[in-house]
Amino acid sequence: MKSDLLIEIGVEEIPASYLKPAAEEFCKKLISLFHERNIPCNGYEVFFTPRRIAVLCMNVADHENVTTKKVFGPPAEMAFNGEGKPTAAATGFAKSFSKNPKDLKIGIRKEKKVCYLELQEKPEQTKRIIQTELASIIQSLCFPKKMKWEKTGFMFARPIRWLVVLYGKNVIKLSIAGVKSSKVSFAPRFKGSKSFSIQTSSSYETTLEKHSIIASYKKRKEMIARGIKKKIGSKQFVIDDTKLLDEVTNLVEYPTVFKGKFDKQFLALPQDVLVTAMREHQRYFAVLSKKNMKIEPVYIGVSNSLDENIGEIANNNNHVLRARLNDAKFYWDEDLKSPFAESIDKLKGIEWHKGLGTVYDKTMRLVALSDHLFDFIRKGNRGHIARGALLSKVDLVSNMIKDGKEFTTLEGIIGREYALQSKEEEAVANIISEHYLPRFPNDRMPITIESAIVGVADRIDTLIGNFLLGEIPTGSSDPFGLRRCANGLLRVLDKFALRFSFQELAMKSISLYSAQKSISEHVKSAEVLKRLKAFLSTRITSYLSLQGIRYDIPDAVLVVHFDNIYESLSRIKALDEESFEKDFDKLIIGQRRVSNILKGISVKHKDIDASLFDCSDEENLWKNCIKTEKIFSQAMNQKDYKSALKALLALRPSIDNFFDNCLVMTEDEQRRNNRIAILFKVKAVFDSYANFSIIVIEGEK
């Protein structure tokens, strides 16, 4: 027999960000249990709201499928006598499993004939399996934080208040965290949390809808999208904010969209301040005019209620938003009472990182390091870079960032606004906001080269400082966001083609820390750089993997060329493209042969003596190597990595013919050393691009 299985976990309100991952994990673990226990199931559906996580599994069998297992007994020659009749050993073996000797079969095990029995395992009921396994599955669900609330010590994101476990129309009786399973669920709080019964598992979604609960995340999201479209006029649009839409969808059980408004006087505030005030605390959607792309004195909100009292709800929200905007206006007005640059010294009162000084110290290092980086890049306006770096952190002491909890996300953005109000040049103001970009994956990038230079210097300073203290990310632990910092560094380097010596810039950074006496004079710079290089190499591999480049290609390049990171990225991309050529694997095999022969050999004969050639392919390889080196060097000097690789690939036939027709390890010592010297020369040319011998070819792991 088959029926639908419903499991609903009723809880106190779970944070919006917890819901979807937990619901999907719950479903995955249930389906995994069915697979492990051989219980047929024909599909599933996941539901979640702030007060419930539910999974509906369709057409679940009421028991495990019957399985047969082989139980091996004594060897065949011991189980049957010469007349083919069972011996005492065979009879005893069969009897121990309540079987007759005639049920015995002969099979092969470990190359020997043995007797065995085929036994059908008694299938366990699905009901019993759920009763046994459900509690451990629920407790194993991952959440950023868990809590205990009752005497058994059960842990979950929020207290469990009810539990529905239905197989068809029958309750599977069990108890978890002191809560007994039943058919009873509960309505939303705006309906008084009244109880109601779910008669059958298959009627779950429709039953909840009758009690003002939209259990489907997708349906709630669609309702909100339709509601927004209906509320805004044809001349308006809502700022596209997928993250906010996802969050709001998981804050409600029955979404009702409303349109609120605020006083026009607040339009004098920067648009980012208005959007943040609405978004961060109230979860409102800002509305813009299609005509001038400016914010309108209205907003869109989503209420967890029916539309019966939506007018009153909108008015109440208007009052709440007014209070928030009054706070923002107060911060703004207070911050504008003094020029932006006058607050630089206040940064001395903010510790940037324990053991690494204040934000003022970091700012002074950033000014010097940005200037040093400019000497490499020689692009952009040096004066703008210096001024932008100097003012880059000043907004941290502003009232808006320091006191306005919901406005901390405006770091850099509000600094730009304050700088413009203080008559700083727009190019300088842009550096203040853009040098933080990108803040996260898929974030927008800085626009100007000046912002990119300051952003790179800022990230190098952060990485060096943390590595000087030994605070290196391990496993999943990265409390200071250094992986994110490195990822942003790579994206900026790549976009702006920033060429500089990482070694020199890093050493400059260490010297700046040392000059401020932020670190010990006895710090081992070489060890710090070695660890940072290993860390960044891993990040480069990860960064490029998102572009479809497999791990071994970056490894091959970075082992011989790392210092100019942008050049390394360019080499890797060109090598990856070349790796799809039909003869590329043969080239790798040839380089492995070269490396294997030269392993453990020191160069005894550096100069090639052409008079010792007695194999035409030996002479051919040498001549083509000299020719290839010239073409290769010209291409490398022009940063034409594709042509450089084409030149190396063209040398492959000469290498293959040399190995096929010339004996390298000949007994003639002079000729042997001469041929070894040729191979060292070939290897040196290839190694100046990458260590080709460690590249994985098709079929290898």
Q: Which of 178, 176, 196, 200 is nearest to 186 (CA)?
A: 196
- CATH architecture under which domain 351-546 falls: Orthogonal Bundle (1.10)
| Distance in angstroms (rounded) separating the CA atoms of residues 325 and 266 | 7
Q: Band the pLDDT of 476: cuts 50, 70, 90.
A: confident
Q: Half-sphere exposure of residue 402, counting CA atoms within 13 Å on the CB side? A: 16
Q: What is the pLDDT of residues 301-310, one digit of tens each?
A: 999 999 888 9
Which of 48-62, 114-128, 674-688 ranks highest by mean pLDDT? Answer: 48-62
Which pLDDT band, with edges at 50, 70 and 90, does 522 fall under?
low
Choose the CATH number for 2-64+125-210 among 3.30.2320, 1.10.287, 1.20.58, 3.30.70. 3.30.70
Contact between 2 and 199 under an 8 Å Cβ cutoff? The reply is: no
Provide the mean pLDDT of the chain. Answer: 93
Residue 464 pLDDT level (bands cut at 50, 70, 90): very high
Helix H or strand E encompassing 197: strand 195-197
CA dist., res. 626 & res. 621, Å (int):
9
Strand pairing report for 160-167 and 179-182: parallel
Phi, psi of 454 (to 5 degrees): -65, -40
Residue 337 pLDDT > 60: yes
- pTM for the full model? 0.81
Query: Alpha-carbon Rg of the chain, whole angstroms?
Result: 35
- When pLDDT is cut at 50, 70 and 90, the band that residue 477 belongs to is confident
Other residues' Cβ atoms within 10 Å of the Cβ of residue 697: 14
3-state helix, strand, coil in the chain (%, to 5): 55, 15, 30
Residue ranges matching CATH 1.10.3210 in the chain: 351-546
Q: What is the pLDDT of residue 361?
A: 96
Closest by Cα among 392, 414, 369, 650 to 515: 369
Give CATH 1.10.730.10 domain extents, the chain. 570-694
Cα 508 to Cα 659: distance, rounded to the nearest angstrom: 48
- Cα 445 to Cα 433, 474, 507, 534, 692: the distances in Å are 11, 28, 27, 26, 34
pLDDT in tens, 222-261: 999 999 999 997 899 998 899 999 999 999 999 999 999 9
At 324 the three-state DSSP class reads: helix
Give the confidence band of 449 by pLDDT, cuts at 50, 70, 90. Answer: very high
Question: What number is the average pLDDT over the span 602-607?
Answer: 66
Two tokens, residue 29: 């673990």
CB atoms within 10 A of CB 188: 22
Which of 502, 476, 479 lies closest to 489, judged by CA? 502
**Domain range 570-694, its CATH number among 3.40.50.2300, 1.10.730.10, 1.10.10.10, 3.50.50.60:** 1.10.730.10
Mean pLDDT to the nearest integer, 32-37: 93
- Of 406, 411, 447, residue with least CA distance to 430: 447
Instruction: Out of 61-70, 76-85, 496-505, give the one with best mean pLDDT.
Output: 496-505
Residue 525's pLDDT is: 87
